[in-house]
Structure 1
Amino acid sequence: MAATSESAVPAETHERGGIGTLLTTLFAFACGALAANLYYAQPLVALIGTDTGLSVSLESFIVTAAQAGYAIGLVCLVPLGDILENRKLILGTMGLNLLSLAGLALLPGLGSLFAMTLVVGVTSVAAQMIVPLAANLAPANQRGAVVGNVMTGLLGGILLARPIASFLADYVGWRGVFGVSGLAIGIILVIGFFFIPHRQPSGGKGYGELIGSLGRLFLTEPVLRRRGLYHAAMFAAFSVFWTAAPIILLREPFGFSSTEVALFTLAGVLGVFAAPVAGRLADRGHTRTGTIVAIALAIFAFVLAWFGETTFWPLLLAGIVIDLGVQANLVLGQREIYQLDESIRNRLNAVYMTTFFLGGALGSALASPLLENFGWTAICLVGGGMPAAALAYFALVEGRASSEEG
């Protein structure tokens, strides 16, 4: 393994007693509330565009701004967890997230909309500081299960964000949605102040050296590189579907209200059940099979979606299936990369998440132009083609790795 020059962290020996249910639950709720910030805008882009005068072809760039901000935070902030005391880093980043949500809810104009959305994305990466902390607190033989449980909260936030945003928007408007999110983050911040444990890593790198090591990790860690690229394709497909589907549901022949779109997006919540199952399968050595199934589910989702342009039920099933596949693949990938080197888990997580969030930003940026210029068929072809490419890449590199081991 290439990135093993750093010694194990002696300061972590007190953490090996494990992680209790209360702390796991707090971590899960915190991750869910933070991650949800990236997805509230997905079903609201048409409402935000109408209110701010943004053109229809550019509406999906609101979602892209949040995801691009998240990618920036993953690169610039998350690696700090390998050198700075984790509790202060997490609480400080959450505090900035609270301030940026307040700005998004209160400040007028397109400029502030995109600026605050970007900052909300940057600071929401506190979730990706919490997940490695949970992995560090967990015993090795329970790490997949613990990460899966924490990720259940994170994924629940992602999946519930869309129906919550759609439902609340009918009563408090789109700005009120972000105000409510700020309230939730504030409550969790206060609770976290009392319960998040201290963890002081022993890494002695400077910031420039720390950030510079990220590119080397991508190049020298084949498992990290493969898992990041698999999920980049999966997350791009996920973003294409969930940005485009609410748009067509607001139009004829469906003519849904925001509340009805909220009920539709609840279908994706079933995907949350894939996370703990995937974590336990990975603990039992079934990562390869699980990955094949997860990617195949995403491809199948767009086959179903093909028939959903004017018919609701195939679209509903597609939403369930794509979320199951994407969430399972995410946890399988995290379980794999956390096995590489415990002293650099924040950086491994940063590279993994940055890689696939760039894929997600690409997917959300493509959604509106594809839908407006080429229709729903293009959404299904491009969306389904992304996981198909990931599956082909998986077959190529995993098959080569198996033959080399043989």
Structure 2
Amino acid sequence: MTLPPDVRPAPEATPEPLAYPFWTSDGLGLPEGYGQLRDGPPVRVRLPYGDEAWLATSYEDVRAVLSDPRFSLAEAVRRDQPRIGPMPRAGGGLIALDAPHHTRLRTLLAKEFTARRMEPLRGRVREVADGLLDRIVAAGPPADLVEDLAFPLPMTLICEIVGVPEADQPGLRTWADTVCSGSVTPEVVRRHAQDFFGRMNDWVETRRRTPADDLITVLVRAADEGALTADELMGLLNEVLIGGFVTTTNQIANFFAVLLLPREAGGGGAELLTTLRERPEVIPRAVEELLRLVPLLNGLTLPRYAEEDVDLGGVLVRAGEPVVVSQAAANHDPVAFPSPDRIVLDRPGTPHISFGHGIHYCLGAHLARLELQTTLERVTARLPGLRLAVPEKELRWRSKEFFSGLRSLPVTW
């Protein structure tokens, strides 16, 4: 039902909530469901589990929700939160807290992930990328950019920063796959959680006995000084590890899909691929535009509950009602980004919100940018003539999961 912009339906005429997320077919385009909401106010949606919610999609509304302290992430832990999987999000980490508790814990980590701390790692990121590319080149084409590069690069780096033993890295991947699938049973999640949190506890006790130059030691020291509890320590470690590689893994593959696929399949960046190879100085700008363009978080929605009545985009969100936002839709809002489906390297002004906004802005944004920039630079330099190694129809996409992306990306050069 389409209504003029200044008309609000009477309560008895309110339409049924829309099914959400708007699961899309294979590819990287923004699901069609968002286009129908582009010029309107927030709408009511129902996720597979939990309460009905308001959905904000415009750039202005999404930024407002992400930065307004009247919308609480912590409250979601106490509610039947709208969600994709059967298990609600647990507490213990930053994404389940509001200020001032969030501020206290984030302060412990923020100084470890500043641009000043991350920039000296650029050489190490390049070293890891070149090592992986050495193996790819030595083996010869074809290669899978997901398994051979996009996964091991950020995984290796975040594990080095945190202090995860190499032998335990496969277990981290198993845990990440479990919590990001959106379809595993609660029993499976609990079993894997018991195993993974047991491993984390072993790392903590090892660092308590033998400190090192890593994040676990920083957090253990803070816990021993009373700055955080044991549960908070484990929650922070879990969030940093999962967030430290899963999103970047998906985005590396997604970026190259944009560069290699034809426009009708959500790509159209062949000209950009040539530009990046010939003019590597534009790579930082390309990363920002690709971060805006690629709808990574189509299905990942962390609900926020209104703590009082709030006017949001012309609708009244009453106290106790949840709101979910689509950063992907906001990044394609033509009011903020003219011609939003085009790659524009010199796009002026408005910053994308792929890393969020407000106090929950992505802690690892500087590290992610470093990894994405370095990967684009090294792949374009070392794999000339890069192209798909299989027909487009044979690509395997993630379906109905938290993150949009490819399960594999076979390439040749």
TM-score bucket of the superposed structures, by smaller chain: under 0.3
Richer in strand (by share): 2
Superposition TM-score, scaled by structure 1 size:
0.24
Superposition TM-score, scaled by structure 2 size:
0.24
Richer in helix (by share): 1
